[in-house]
Amino acid sequence: MTDSGDIRFLLTIRDSGSLTAASRKLGLSPSAVTQRLQLLEKKLGMRLIDRTARKLLFTEEGQLLCQRGGTLMQAFDALFDELRERSGGLIGTLKVNAPLGFGRRYIAPAVAEFQRHHPDVTITLTLSDRPLTETSDRFDVVVHIGELRDSNLIGHTLAPNARFVCAAPSLVKRFGMPAGPDELMQMPCIVLPENNEDASLWHFSKGKTTRSVRVPSKLSCNDGDVIRRWACEGRGVILRSEWDVADDLRSGRLIRLLPAWKTSDANIIALAHNRTGLPARTRHFMTFLQERFKPTPEWRAT
């Protein structure tokens, strides 16, 4: 009979990515982890992990045990979290993933404040330039900016966020103010690869008219703060989220180009698993995030 400890042990290996990393998390020696894994496989009468591969590779049976077992452990934990909540306070571990720039500026302070209000909750915040990846199921909450494609996670809106085409006054002085999207093809542009999008293809709409432009780019970076700084230095035109450039637009470090043309919005959403028995700490954290951006997000405050 396999107990919950065995399932949690296997999930730790999966989340760690290697037996060595799992041994550090478990406070065991690598040999002890290997021995325990062998005992579990012997108990079940099947191979769970192919240890002959160069990287950690789960068998179909191992993947199934992680998938179904993970769901059971979440429901199990949620049940006891609810019981503990009735006696007062939240408890447990919360894993949060967020984009680099937005995560640093807005999510990190929220995480710290939430943990201060709920000291029995342990929170791990991971900042990434690709928060929606195949590892997103290892997080309780994933903060995402922009359109959501093909995800088994459920989105909860946090705040509205438009995207603006911007440039420094010095660049506009050199190249002139563009009258339409096509003129961007004659200007240096800076692109931000994110969410597996075609970063140099910019889409615009004006009433019923739509236009897509392939912008020339000699500079690109996966960190939005870097491309914003480059833009302020006059190195190129950027298409960037409202939350990131609002201060620069107000101060005059950047000028908004083509205000009559709309680009697609990139609203801020928080994603959680679509599972019954979502832990109380996750539900409370989602609500906490939503409240922080009401009634108007900071970047739209006048």
Alpha carbons 54 and 59: distance in angstroms, whole number = 14
Beta partners for 214? 201
Q: What is the mean pLDDT of the chain?
A: 87
The torsion angles phi and psi of 55, rounded to 5 degrees, stand at -120, 165
Alpha carbons 301 and 296: distance in angstroms, whole number = 7
How many other C-beta atoms are found inside a 10 Å radius of the C-beta of residue 93?
Answer: 12
**Most distant CA pair in the chain, distance:** 74
Q: What is the pLDDT of residues 88-140, one digit of tens each?
A: 678 888 999 999 999 999 999 999 999 999 998 999 999 987 766 545 567 88
| DSSP for residue 269 | E
| DSSP for residue 237 | B
Alpha carbons 242 and 259: distance in angstroms, whole number = 13
- pLDDT of the residue at 151: 65
The answer regarding whether domain 163-257 maps to CATH 2.60.40.4070 reads no
Tell me whether domains 4-75 and 89-161+267-300 share a fold. Answer: no
Q: Are 126 and 139 a contacting pair, CB within 8 Å?
A: yes
Element at 202 (helix H, strand E)? strand 201-206
Assigned CATH topology for domain 4-75: Arc Repressor Mutant, subunit A (1.10.10)
Q: Which of 292, 302, 299 is nearest to 143 (CA)?
A: 292
Alpha helix (H) residue ranges in the chain: 4-16, 19-26, 30-44, 60-86, 100-102, 108-117, 169-175, 224-232, 242-251, 280-292
Q: Give residue limits of the domains in the chain.
A: 4-75, 89-161+267-300, 163-257
- Helix-strand-coil percent breakdown of the chain, rounded to 5? 45, 25, 35
Q: Which of 301, 291, 283, 250 is nearest to 94 (CA)?
A: 283
Alpha carbons 2 and 68: distance in angstroms, whole number = 13
- pLDDT of the residue at 195: 66
How many other C-beta atoms are found inside a 10 Å radius of the C-beta of residue 291?
Answer: 10
Q: Is 171 left (phi over 0), alpha (psi -120 to 50) or beta?
A: alpha
Exposed/middle/buried for residue 148 (C-beta within 10 Å: 0-12, 13-18, 19+): middle
Kind of pairing, strands 141-145 and 268-273?
Answer: antiparallel
Alpha carbons 83 and 285: distance in angstroms, whole number = 18
Alpha carbons 163 and 10: distance in angstroms, whole number = 43
Assigned CATH topology for domain 89-161+267-300: D-Maltodextrin-Binding Protein; domain 2 (3.40.190)
- pLDDT of the residue at 210: 94
Exposed/middle/buried for residue 22 (C-beta within 10 Å: 0-12, 13-18, 19+): buried
| Residues in the chain, pLDDT under 50 | 1, 134
Distance spanning both ends of the chain, measured CA to CA: 62
- pLDDT of the residue at 162: 95
Q: In the numeric block, which tokens belong to residue 23?
A: 């041994």
